[in-house]
Structure 1
Amino acid sequence: MNFNSIAEFTVTARFLRYVTVDTQSDPASTMIPSTEKQKDLGHILVKELLAMGIDDAHLDEFGYVYATIPANTSKSNVPVICFCSHMDTAPDCSGTGVKPIVHKNYQGADIVLPDDPSEIIRLKDHADLKNQIGNDLVTASGTTLLGADNKAGVAEIMDACYQLINHPEIKHGKIRILFTPDEEIGRGVDKVDIEKLGAYAGYTMDGESAGNMENETFSADGAKLTIKGVSTHPGFAKGKMESAIKIAGEIIAALPYGLSPEGTEGMQGFVHPVAVEGHVEKATIEFIIRDFEDAKLADHADTIRGVVNQVLQKYPGSSYDLDVQPQYRNMRSVLDQHPQIVEYGMEAMRRAGLQAKMCSIRGGTDGSRLSFMGLPCPNIFAGEHAFHSRQEWVSVQDMQKAVETILYLCMIWEEKAV
């Protein structure tokens, strides 16, 4: 089936609307969701789903959008599948006042973003641009991120819902839709009601290049290092003061480059200090610890301890505490128990005319935790690139292929049901 012949895509128009809604999450907030403005997009999505005729679409108290597309097949044993994307954008870069720009028929030239001409999207810096010649690219204007991570995925799922409702010839089982808040700050599925979803398999639409499917993520821990120094009056500090601030600086400087994000790639893990706060008497460093192998997380924490102990040899009056907490784990251990979930995703991309490629994420998705909550959930491309930055971009044609992939997935699960 060629979906281009039966439907006009709505994904681009939806995406251009959604990115103008500020949904930035806030790691310092204790609210659920962390920012009330995330619900602004949730309300819009519910309104649009209801207008399509999806009667149970609703936004719950925690900022999650749930909806159901009923089965339209005579088969009674088609597994329920769920499509999921997150509504929030990253705290790393402003999401206020996003002005999306569509660059038609990209031909490889540098794209200068008009509101800050120093922000230039260059072919040499963005490898996937070589696959976009002739396509239409969407960027922000140069002072904000775009929000393709993950509003591209949201728009793709919404367009797929529209196509399924308006084209009953696409046979499918029961489809569940889930849009989450706070994924960017690691809380995206804290309040998901798995029993309410009632799905056998899930797919997050939150990946990069067209044709990519990700069946494994980092495993992740967070760590907080607390340094207790020795404070005295600075006028009488000689031989007495041991500044926790300076100790923290020495520790950060002593971390091995080969275990840093900027010094690693591929399947290598890292230790990354993400926040520092302190005074002379006390300082804290917050770390994220990442690796594809769970056992190596403990090794990386030991590396931090080793560095701290080495530095503190010069400061006999000072001490430290390292508190390590688990965040999420590599979803591959779950997905390997359900190989058809990944296989059907790969087949769907091939049917959409893409060269399907299995990849690993140097990061995490909602699917990481959903998989361990009872919903095996690989990650499918959404077309987003240079996420969390002012140079973020997405291809209109890639978003359309993602919609096709969703539709084919719905069909494949129905076809494979005995």
Structure 2
Amino acid sequence: MSDVLDRFIKYCAVPSQSNPLTAEKVPSTPEQFDIANVIAQDLRELGAEDVTVDEHAYVTAHWPASEGCEDLPCLGFCCHIDTAWQSVGNPVHPEVKHYEGGELRIGTDRDGREVVVSPETNPQLANMAGWDIVTTDGTSLLGGDDKAGDAMVVSLLARLKADPSLPHPRLALSFVPDEEIGHGAALLDLKEFGADFGYTIDGGPLGEFCYETFNAAEVNVHARGLSCHTGTAKGMMVNASELIMRFHQMLPAEQRPEFTEGYDGFFYLERMSGDCESASADYIIRDHDQAKVEQRKRVMCHAAKLLNVQMGEEYVTIDIHDQYHNLADVVTRPEYAHLIENARAAYASIGQEMTCIPMRGGTDGSQLSFRGFPCANLSACYYNAHGVREFVPVPELEAMVDMLVDLVGRYAVPQK
């Protein structure tokens, strides 16, 4: 196996899901320390400097500049070590399959059903006949989001070590926990990190580039009720679960994720639970336009207020927190144009046209850019993330390491 493939499979086999229900602590799950320590050990073996795993499972390190580039600005890379919580993620059995065309057969899920990827849902498969592709055995997600990115960065360092003649500035490297639950790089010490600008590696197919993300907010809705015997409930019972359902029905159904695309925003019900006396629902709201996010907040607050008016007192409460903002507000400033143009040129160096997409999600860069570390998002080459149909093509995985070698070389000269 190639260096990056070997690392990728090793990282995927270490379960490290985050958990939104324990998000009050960082990391939200102890398993994230396991992958943090594996990556840190690989960094140490390569000779990276300042390798640290802190009390929150943040892995940070530096790589010295090549000769003559010591005075150039430090270039940063950031990936995340957690995997998605929405699907089964433990244990993970990564496999390399040789794909000959047609349906990509992954395996069987835990209920014995066959897991396949169809060219109809993934037309990219038409160009992958004859390729090796990494999947699981069908019983879990793979974790290419974002362990492919982790493997690419570590393999970049291996390339630089093997060929000291490759030009590059000093590199700052971070591998952070809990990105999948909106925390991400919130605790990254940017002063110690020391990078002036850089990239996250947390995107989809090869050539994908993102400098636009959603603005994001989290909404927690709680309803209280009044329980009594169902036989004598008339005029007395207040069913909290029914109130949550009524609240949900007051939101525009056509603005749910399954009916939106492109620049469309949405309301998404992540989870709900409850009984007669107490019920709750957790939502996220997303939009590329912050003004539309604010409008969505008002819609939800108005729905809660209207229910309380109908009930005659306050039975429904709502709590809203901003999570991150559209990184385009920072990255599109003229002084950071090199982040886009250098990425375009580096993709071209491997024969790949860069495709800019408005990301329907966020990356660590969504908050880092507003904290003083402007960073756009590069391909991690995963498909169908967050589920058992996830896969990563080996040729794309390897090509991205070539792209990163070219990219760091473009920062071996002063930027205009």
**TM-score over 0.5 (shorter chain):** yes
Deviation for aligned residue 1:135: 1.8
Structure 1 Cα separation of the partners of residues 18 and 106 of structure 2: 28
Structure 1 Cα separation of the partners of residues 161 and 318 of structure 2: 53
Q: 1:13 and 2:9 equivalent?
A: no
Deviation for aligned residue 1:262: 1.0
User: Secondary structure of the residue that 1:297 maps to in structure 2?
Assistant: helix
Q: Which residue of 1 aligns with 2:65?
A: 71
Aligned amino acid, residue 401 of structure 1 = A
Instruction: Return the match for 1:53 from 47, 51, 58.
Output: 47
C-alpha distance 9-307 of structure 1, shift in aligned 2 (>3 A): same
Instruction: Return the match for 2:288 from 273, 277, 292.
Output: 292
Q: 1:24 and 2:24 equivalent?
A: no
Residue identity (%): 32
Aligned amino acid, residue 139 of structure 1 = T
CA contact (8 A) 1:77 1:417 kept: no
CA contact (8 A) 1:229 1:317 kept: no
C-alpha distance 93-381 of structure 1, shift in aligned 2 (>3 A): same
Q: Over residues 310-334 of structure 1, what are the superposed CA-to-partner deviations in whole Å (9 max), with x where a residue is unaligned?
A: 5556533553222211110000001
C-alpha distance 87-164 of structure 1, shift in aligned 2 (>3 A): same
Q: Over residues 340-376 of structure 1, what are the superposed CA-to-partner deviations in whole Å (9 max), with x where a residue is unaligned?
A: 1122112111112101111111001111111111100
CA contact (8 A) 2:344 2:353 kept: no
CA contact (8 A) 2:223 2:315 kept: yes
Deviation for aligned residue 1:284: 1.9
Aligned amino acid, residue 49 of structure 1 = L
Deviation for aligned residue 1:309: 4.7
* RMSD over equivalenced CA pairs, Å: 1.9
Q: Comparing 163-172 with 130-139, which one deviates more in the overlay?
A: 130-139
Structure 2 Cα separation of the partners of residues 324 and 50 of structure 1: 42
Q: Over residues 360-409 of structure 1, what are the superposed CA-to-partner deviations in whole Å (9 max), with x where a residue is unaligned?
A: 11001111111111100111001011111011100101111111121111
Normalised to the residue count of structure 2, the TM-score between the two structures is 0.94
Q: Which residue of 1 aligns with 2:404?
A: 406
User: Secondary structure of the residue that 2:142 maps to in structure 1?
Assistant: coil
Q: Which residue of 2 aligns with 1:213?
A: 209
CA contact (8 A) 2:69 2:168 kept: no
User: Secondary structure of the residue that 1:380 maps to in structure 2?
Assistant: strand
Aligned amino acid, residue 315 of structure 1 = M
Q: Which residue of 2 aligns with 1:42?
A: 36
C-alpha distance 175-229 of structure 1, shift in aligned 2 (>3 A): same
Aligned amino acid, residue 238 of structure 2 = E
User: Secondary structure of the residue that 1:402 maps to in structure 2?
Assistant: helix
Q: 1:82 and 2:76 equivalent?
A: yes
Aligned amino acid, residue 400 of structure 2 = A
Q: Which residue of 1 aligns with 2:219?
A: 223
Q: Which residue of 1 aligns with 2:149?
A: 153
User: Secondary structure of the residue that 1:378 maps to in structure 2?
Assistant: strand
Q: Over residues 269-302 of structure 1, what are the superposed CA-to-partner deviations in whole Å (9 max), with x where a residue is unaligned?
A: 0011112232323322211010000111111122
Q: Which residue of 2 aligns with 1:367?
A: 365
CA contact (8 A) 1:242 1:318 kept: no
Instruction: Return the match for 1:201 from 197, 203, 211.
Output: 197
CA contact (8 A) 2:108 2:139 kept: no
Aligned amino acid, residue 378 of structure 1 = A
Alignment coverage as a number of residue pairs: 411
CA contact (8 A) 1:108 1:123 kept: yes
Q: Which residue of 2 aligns with 1:99?
A: 93
Structure 2 Cα separation of the partners of residues 305 and 75 of structure 1: 54
Aligned amino acid, residue 91 of structure 2 = G
Structure 2 Cα separation of the partners of residues 407 and 415 of structure 1: 14
Structure 2 Cα separation of the partners of residues 135 and 110 of structure 1: 11
Structure 2 unmatched ranges of 5 or more? none
Structure 2 Cα separation of the partners of residues 393 and 75 of structure 1: 38
Task: Report matched runs for 1:320-359 at 5 Å.
Answer: 320-337=316-333, 338-359=336-357
User: Secondary structure of the residue that 2:114 maps to in structure 1?
Assistant: coil
Aligned amino acid, residue 373 of structure 2 = L
Q: 1:128 and 2:124 equivalent?
A: yes
Structure 2 Cα separation of the partners of residues 200 and 279 of structure 1: 51
Normalised to the residue count of structure 1, the TM-score between the two structures is 0.93
Structure 2 Cα separation of the partners of residues 58 and 146 of structure 1: 26
Deviation for aligned residue 1:231: 3.5
Q: Comparing 191-200 with 51-60, which one deviates more in the overlay?
A: 51-60
Task: Report matched runs for 1:274-293 at 5 Å.
Answer: 274-293=270-289
CA contact (8 A) 2:106 2:389 kept: no
Structure 2 Cα separation of the partners of residues 88 and 119 of structure 1: 23
Aligned amino acid, residue 404 of structure 1 = D
User: Secondary structure of the residue that 2:169 maps to in structure 1?
Assistant: coil
Aligned amino acid, residue 301 of structure 1 = K
Aligned amino acid, residue 86 of structure 1 = H
Deviation for aligned residue 1:339: 1.4
Q: Which residue of 2 aligns with 1:393?
A: 391
Structure 1 Cα separation of the partners of residues 128 and 303 of structure 2: 45
Q: Which residue of 1 aligns with 2:267?
A: 271
C-alpha distance 317-75 of structure 1, shift in aligned 2 (>3 A): closer
User: Secondary structure of the residue that 1:153 maps to in structure 2?
Assistant: helix
User: Secondary structure of the residue that 1:385 maps to in structure 2?
Assistant: coil
Structure 2 Cα separation of the partners of residues 252 and 210 of structure 1: 38
